[in-house]
Amino acid sequence: MRENQTKSEGLLWSILRAKQLCGLKFRRQHPIGAWIADFACPAKVLVVEIDGGYHDLTSDEDIRRQEHLDQLGWTVLRLTDKDVEQDAEAVARAIANELNLSYEFQRRKATGSGMMNVKVRKKGKPK
Q: Which residue has the higher pLDDT, 72 or 109?
A: 72
**Is 16 strand, coil or helix?**
helix
Pairing of strands 75-80, 46-51: parallel
DSSP state of 29: E
pLDDT at 1 over 70: no
Mean pLDDT, the chain, rounded, equals 86
Q: Compute the average pLDDT of residues 31-52.
A: 95
Helices 88-98 and 7-16, interaxial angle, to 10°?
60
Architecture of the structural domain at 2-115: 3-Layer(aba) Sandwich (3.40)
Q: Tens digits of per-residue pLDDT, 77-105?
A: 999 999 999 999 999 999 999 999 999 99
Contact call for residues 125 and 110 (beta carbons, < 8 A): no
Q: Provide the edge-to-edge strand list for the sheet that holds 35-41.
A: 27-32, 35-41, 46-51, 75-80
CA 14-19-21 angle, to 5 degrees, is 70
SS (H, E, C) 36-92: EEEEEEHHHCEEEEEECHHHHCCHHHHHHHHHHHHHCCCEEEEEEHHHHHHCHHHHH
Q: What is the pTM of this model?
A: 0.80
Contact call for residues 32 and 69 (beta carbons, < 8 A): yes
